[in-house]
Amino acid sequence: MTNLIVLIPALPLLSFLILVLFGGKLSRKVAGWIGAGSIGVAALLTIIVGISFIKSLPETKSYSVVIWQWLHVGNLTANIAFRLDSLSLVFIFVITFVGFLIHIYSIGFMANDEGFTRFFAYMNLFVSSMLILVLADNILLMYLGWEGVGLCSYLLIGFLYKEPANGAAARKAFIITRIGDTAMIIGIFILFLSFGTFNIQDIMHLASAKWAIGSSLAVITAALLLGGALGKSAQLPLQTWLPDAMAGPSPVSALIHAATMVTAGVYLIARTNVLFSLAPIVQTIIAIIGALTLLIAGFSALAQHDLKRILAYSTISQIGYMFLALGVGAYSAAIFHFMIHAFFKALLFLAAGVVILVLNEEHDIFKMGGLRKRMPVVFWTFLIGSASLSALPLITADFYSKDAILWFAFSSNSGGMVLWFAGIIGAFLTALYSFRMIFITFFGEAKTEPTFNAGKLMTVPLIILATLSVIGGFIELPTSMGNFHLFSNLVNNTLPNIAIKNVEQLEWLFQLISALIASIGIYLAYRFYFKKPAYIEAFNHSRLNHFFEKGFGFDKVYDVLFVKPIVWLAEIDKKDIFDQLNISISRLAIWGNHFLSIAQNGKLRWYLLSFAIGIAFILTLMLTK
Amino acid sequence: MLTVPVETQILFAGILFFLGLIGLLVRRNLVFMLMSIEIMFNSAGLVFIIAARHWNQPDGQVMFIFILAVTAVEVAIGLALILQVYHHFKTLDVDKINKLKD
Amino acid sequence: MILIYLIVILLAGAFLAWLAGNWSAVLPRVISLVALGIDLTLLVLILFQTTTFNTKWLIDIQSNWIPQFGIGLHLALDGLSLLMLLLTFFLGIIAVIISWKEINSKVGFFHFNLLLILAGIIGVFISLDLFLFYFFWELMLVPMYFLIGIWGHENRTKASYKFFLYTQASGLLMFISILALYFVHGDSTGIYTFDYNQLLGTQMSPTTAMLIMSGFLAAFLVKLPVVPLHNWLPDAHSEAPTAGSLILAALLLKTGAYGLLRFVVPLFPSATQSFAPIGMALGVLGILYGAKLAFAQTDLKRLIAYTSVSHMGFVMLGIFSFNELAYQGVVMQMIAHGISTGALFIMAGQLSERIHTRDINQMGGLWEKAPFMGAIGLIFAMASLGLPGLGNFIAELLILIGAFKVNVLMSVLACVGLIAATLYSLRILQKVFFGKKNTDWKMNDLSIREKVVSVSLVIIIVVLGLFPQPVFDVAKPSLLKTLERTKSQESGNKTFIMTQPINQSTN
């Protein structure tokens, strides 16, 4: 039964191959349904495999399938092999299920675009790579998936290739993530050379056996792997590519840059948690990076004009929460937040996609407005998504996941007041910018008229995702209310339990505070952006706002620090200095030729004179000897 | 018989030779250069005569006759060439005839 | 005898093609295809008849040539040469096919030269007599000079001179070294011979070894090329006709790497050990500097040529790491780079056949006109940036791990080369296929002939990336043989210092 997991990544890959090879001959309809259908079947298989996995949990808490031996050189062995455990189960469920919904949506969304089959081919390749990433049983195969999703992200951001800006955004995304990946591959080298294997489980066992906590190798390796995670998950300081990545079509943003790929870093850290627990200092850094990122991205989201950029910063910020959770050791909370985030952020992006499509590629929220009446389905689903994003207490799923993170940020042994405070500020910001979006986009007077109504293909996925964004949270209820731990019990088969301080009785207080903060945020959003008082207008034109809008100026700094020097370096020696050296050898020869030809002037008497001098010279030599 | 030391004789031949050489270098007219060459030839011949006289052997005189023959031929060819050069370049100035450099 | 047949068939094909060129333009192409096809079939037969690769030589033939001077006709085949020969014949066939429409003048002579170069390359890969080796080494050179000089682009004369001077001068240095080795060996043992097997254990002082080795290095490092000696390459590559660039990049450069593996390391095991730090540093310099220059170029073929410099830096790094991982990586890199860079040159050729320019600033947005070509370009750009799943990744991974064992700093610097590779590869894609159309070119997508070529290359690079094991199995015995020679010389164990050093397994 569980051998079916091979089919889960294979199906999208197969569909990718079909679309690439026969794409030209297929009609749009067929191509779209092949693309979406393969993911649908994969989702079904995931559910079947998942149920049978949970029902009869094996001793090792995991299944492995070796498909073929990939490499065997000396003592280096790597297989193409998959491994299913509860962590990867959650991920493949989200990837296939949310992926399927997004594919369905895309059939409607991309209906009039050029390169329809190309789009589905890339999307299928992405899903396949992402599944390989999370199912891989060795870190090398994981790296294959890791780079594969990077490639698809590059291709899909630059999908509308005729616009040079899209190409630039795509390259930026690829290059920045590649910087992280390179750190990661060095980390992989160290792991391999220390333990002689690529198998993740073996590495984890050997690492905990051989490396002391806080030993320098453990710290270096964990830091290098973290580099990869930071790049992929768009965390400080490698976060700058994600807002630009919004150049891709909305389904791409929903699938890759919200629900799945950007959380690969979270997966990596959760998967190699043993390593990070051996490097407490790195884990602390993760928590700090998470906290800083969620704040910076939160402030940036508050100042954006572009609907998708708001969502992009929001994604960065939410992944910051996941990193915060990982940093304090709350793995199951991080994964739970990943899942819930995948639901509502995919929903938000898809809904935003409808809005943008219907308004003829209008991205600026200040040119929208009053859409509540024009597109009720989109409005309500978007509202649910935003409510979930801002963690509206009790009814939304995100309340449960984010609350868990905030609670653990405080109560974990490695957590504390500062981390919690950063998180709670972030929660406030989240509520503020979410409802800023709602009020500006959907309320007020209409500024742009919708051109058409979105079809069922687009609205049905929205409704399903909206439902999940509400009920998804109920599978994991905090100890203080309900004490229902379906999700964390599942995930903790794979991930370590969190160790918390003895402050459990305080949990309800923290929940109350976060509920209050979220509500205050929403209320203030209403005050600021619905009522529009004068000081908000003034603030909108302030320098601080501009600074926020530019994402704290990271782009500019990197431009000066890296881009300009590299371009300068490339330009300065374009002709290759070594070539000049070689040319100078030939120049020397030519110059010598010219110099010696002076003597050859054709004057007979000159020749005779030199002749005479020569003889005199030789005679002198002979005589003086 | 007047005896002149052999060194003086050689010195005389040497002076003659240098006169010829200087003439060769200083004169620009091809005819004069040819004449200078003749002087140098003769100085060389003179050395042979001096040597023959010194060691009382006839080889040196034979050699001088040989040189005479060579100079005769040389003058004949040289003058013919000079005529050709004059015909071709309308000048005998050797500095103007610097075609050798190409 | 089969090894001699391989060469004789090519030589016969070469002369036949030249003759046939007088009557028809198609005949030489067909003759070349047939000759290469027969050779490839023969080789595949050998491959399938071989049950084990663990023997010292799969085929070893030896006879006298000029016995007075100890020069023999000694040809031998092992796993490493077998792989190189397969690559040679396959790419030879590709070279004939891609010049089908491109070469229209002196067709017969073109194919004569083409086959002659291939014969030279094959000779280099299988000769075990140093004099014979040098003969074949020079045999590659002259026809290549003609190939660039006659059928090349605008600046072909300069490029062909440059190519000739560099390789000839360095080749002569190698010849001096060969002679020196001949005499050193003769003086110490009384046997004057050019035979590889006999010269292997020659006793000499470290200084002598260093001097003689540097002659060999000169030839091989120029051919590879290694950075300060690489300047013939961009010119030669960019000015050569497509088939010429293909053979230069995919095969001729490999003779340098092969020479290092076959001759320099086994003949001078201790001298190479002491040269290793410099060798690795040169490799890294090549990786980074080549990538930097590639990033700055605007001439597509020149750009790809510099990427070759960068990729060959990995080979250099791997060879001087002296362990099995790195060596398998080097072999894989030789093959994968041959395929991927060859494919990029073919693409550049196809582009300039269509739009008559190699300037990437005049291209842009070509995906719309030629999506098939774009997809091929995409795959090979990804291969050259080392995307996992394609052959180059396996190669670079193994080399980097192997180098990491020996020298962490060098390996990490080489990893930076991966980022640089991303920069130039994406630049190719962006400038050629994506972005705005700078000129509204009228062009067709690939023809069936071109599609067959490109798709076969794609299949190979993917297979190399996903199922590389057969290549490793074939190459393993000859690499271990080479490594053993360095092992016996190696004093201290320079393995990676970790909690527990992993010993190199030599099973």
| Domain assignment of residue C357, yes or no | yes
Summarize pLDDT for A36-68 with one digit per residue, the tens.
Answer: 899 999 999 999 888 888 887 777 778 888 888
Per the CB < 8 Å rule, is A194 touching C434? no
Instruction: Answer for the pair A404, A374: CB distance below 8 angstroms, yes or no.
Output: no
Average pLDDT over residues C80-95: 91
pLDDT over 60 (residue C495): no
Q: Count how many pairs of residues, chain A against chain B, have C-beta atoms within 8 Å.
A: 31
Q: How far is CA A187 from the centre of its chain?
A: 19
Residue C196 lies in a domain: no
Per-residue confidence (pLDDT) for residue B4, from 0 to 100: 82
Asked if the C-beta of B98 comes within 8 angstroms of chain A's C-beta atoms, the answer is: yes
> Residue A445 has what pLDDT?
78
Q: Which residues of A touch C418 (CB under 8 A)?
A: 178, 182, 185
Location of structure tokens 């890791």: A146
- Examine residue C387 and state whether it is found in any structural domain, yes or no: yes
Chain A residues touching B29 at Cβ < 8 A:
none
Is residue A137 within 8 Å of residue A79, measured between CB atoms?
Answer: yes
Whole-number Å distance between alpha carbons of C303 and A373 = 56
Element (H, E) at A67: strand A62-73
* Closest in A158, A168, A186 to C412, CB measured: A186
Position C460 in a domain: yes
Q: Is residue B1 over pLDDT 60? A: no
Does residue A313 have a pLDDT over 60? yes
Q: Are C275 and C214 in contact (CB under 8 A)?
A: no
CA distances from A505 to A414, A475, A513 (A): 18, 22, 14
Question: CA distances (Å), B19 to each of A555, B47, B64, C380, C440, in order?
Answer: 88, 15, 20, 82, 82
A with B: touching (≥3 Cβ pairs within 8 Å): yes
Q: Could you tell me if residue C104 is inside a domain?
A: no
Chain C residues within an 8 Å CB radius of A71: 394, 468-469, 472
Domain tally, chain C: 1
Q: In this complex, is the C-beta atom of A68 within 8 Å of any C-beta atom belonging to chain C?
A: yes
Predicted pLDDT of residue C283 = 92
pLDDT-derived band at A521, boundaries 50, 70, 90 = confident
Q: ω into residue C225 within 30 of 0, thus cis?
A: yes
The whole-number pLDDT of residue C505 equals 42
- Average pLDDT of the residues in A22-30: 81
Under 8 Å CB-to-CB from C481, ≥6 apart: which residues? C56, C78, C266
Residue C121 lies in a domain: no
* A144 lies within 8 A of chain C by CB: yes
Residues ≥6 apart with Cβ < 8 Å to A3: A65
pLDDT over threshold 90, residue B43: yes
Distance between first and last Cα of chain C: 32
Identify which of A161, A179, A217 has the shortest CB distance to residue C499. Answer: A217
CA–CA dist A549, A566 (Å, integer)? 26
CB-side exposure of C249: number of CA atoms within 13 Å? 35
Residue C356, C-beta contacts closer than 8 angstroms, at least 6 positions apart: none
Give A79's contacts in chain C (Cβ within 8 Å): none
User: Given a cut of 50, is residue C502 above it in pLDDT?
Assistant: no
Distance from CA of A296 to the nearest CA of C (A): 27
Which residues lie below 8 Å from residue C335, measured CB to CB, with a gap of 6+? C83, C87, C391, C395, C464, C471
The residue assigned the tokens 């060999």 is: C216
Instruction: Select the residue of A151, A175, A579 nearest C423 (Cβ to Cβ).
Output: A175
Question: In C, which residues are within 8 Å of A569 by CB distance?
Answer: 292
CB contact under 8 A, A74 and C500: no
On the question of a cis peptide bond just before residue C234, with omega within 30 degrees of 0, the verdict is no
Question: What does each C-alpha distance from C5 to C47, C57, C420, C453 come to in angstroms?
Answer: 16, 18, 44, 27
Contacts 24+ apart (CB under 8 A), C49-53: C53/C78, C53/C79, C53/C473, C53/C474, C53/C476, C53/C477
Q: Collapsing DSSP states into helix, strand and coil, what is residue A136?
A: strand
CB of C400 within 8 Å of any CB in chain A? yes
Evaluate whether C251 touches C308 at the Cβ level (below 8 Å).
Answer: no
pLDDT of residue B46: 92
Q: Collapsing DSSP states into helix, strand and coil, what is residue A448?
A: coil
Q: Which residue has the higher pLDDT, A452 or A136?
A: A136
Nearest-by-Cβ selection for A217 from C368, C437, C498: C498
Residue A437 has what pLDDT? 85
Mean pLDDT, residues C484-499: 53
Contact between A164 and C435 using a beta-carbon 8 Å cutoff: yes
Query: Residue B21: closest CA among chain A residues belongs to which residue?
Result: A612
- In the predicted model, what is the mean pLDDT of chain B? 88
Which amino acid is it at A170? A
* Domain membership flag for residue C85: no
Examine the pLDDT at C506 and tell me if it is beyond 70: no
Rg (CA), chain A: 30
| Chains contacting B (3 or more CB pairs within 8 Å) | A
How far away is chain B from the Cα of A593, in angstroms, using its nearest Cα? 14
Q: What are the structural domain ranges in chain A?
A: 575-624
C398 neighbourhood in chain A, CB within 8 Å? 73, 76
A partners (3+ CB pairs within 8 A) are B, C
Q: Is the pLDDT of residue C498 over 60?
A: no
Reading the block at residue A11, the tokens are 């199906």
d(CA A436, CA A442) in angstroms, rounded, equals 10
Q: Which of B30, B91, B94 is the best substitution to test chain A (most A C-beta atoms within 10 A)?
A: B94
B8-89: CATH, from 1.10.287.3510, 1.10.274.30, 3.90.79.10, 3.50.40.10: 1.10.287.3510
- Whether C384 is covered by a domain: the verdict is yes
Q: What ipTM was assigned to the predicted interfaces of this complex? A: 0.89
Q: What is the pLDDT of residues C44-67, one digit of tens each?
A: 988 888 877 777 788 888 888 888
Q: What pLDDT band is residue C493 in, cutting at 50, 70 and 90? A: very low
Instruction: Specify the range with the lowest mean pLDDT, choosing from A540-554, C117-131, C220-234.
Output: A540-554
The answer to whether the CB atoms of A154 and C426 lie below 8 A apart is yes
- Which chain B residues touch A603 with a CB distance below 8 Å? 94-95, 98
**Closest Cα in chain A to C474:** A73
Instruction: Please identify which residue in the block is written with the tokens 């990538």.
Output: C291
- Inter-chain contact A192–C292, Cβ cutoff 8 Å? no
Please check the confidence at residue C333 and state whether its pLDDT lies above 90. Answer: yes
Report residue C310's pLDDT band, with 50, 70 and 90 as the boundaries: very high
Q: Which helix (H) or strand (E) holds C73?
A: strand C71-77
Q: What angle do CA C342, A119, A139 make, to 5 degrees?
A: 65
pLDDT tens digits for C375-428? 899 999 999 988 898 989 999 999 999 999 888 899 999 999 899 999 999 988
Contacts of C239 (CB under 8 A, 6+ apart): C148, C152, C153, C154, C155, C156, C158, C159, C160
Mean pLDDT of A513-542: 81
Please tell me if residue A582 touches chain C, with a CB cutoff of 8 Å: yes
Share of chain C above pLDDT 90, in %: 34
Q: Is C418 on the interface with A (CB under 8 A)?
A: yes
Mean pLDDT, all residues of chain C: 87
Q: Is there contact between C and B if contact means ≥3 C-beta pairs under 8 Å?
A: no
Confidence of residue B2 (pLDDT cuts 50, 70, 90): low
Of B94, B101, B102, nearest to A605 by CB-CB distance is B94
Helices A376-389 & A331-358, crossing angle to 10 degrees? 150
Specify the pLDDT at position C94.
Answer: 92
Asked if A570's CB is within 8 angstroms of C419's CB, the reply is no
A621, pLDDT greater than 50: yes
Test the A interface: residue of C163, C229, C231 with most A CBs within 10 Å: C231
C415 close contact with A: CB closer than 8 A = yes
Q: What is the mean pLDDT of chain A?
A: 85
Q: Chain B: give the shortest CA distance to residue A587, in Å.
A: 22
CB-nearest partner of B101 from A601, A608, A609: A601
pLDDT given at position B101? 63
Ramachandran class of C322: left when φ > 0, alpha when ψ lies in -120 to 50, beta otherwise = left
Rounded average pLDDT over A203-207:
88
Longest dimension (CA), chain B: 57
Instruction: Name the pLDDT band for C188 (thresholds 50, 70, 90).
Output: confident
pTM of the model: 0.86
Phi/psi region, residue A35 (left: phi>0; alpha: psi -120 to 50; beta: rest), is alpha
Per-position b or e across A347-375, b if 16+ CB within 10 A of its CB = bbbbbbbbbbbbbeebbebeebbebbebb
Cα–Cα distances (Å) from C247 to C3, C89, C308, C395, C461, in that order, read 21, 11, 13, 20, 17
Is it the case that residue C114 has pLDDT exceeding 50? Answer: yes
Give the structural domain span for C329. Answer: 275-494
Shortest Cα–Cα distance, A575 to chain B (Å)? 36
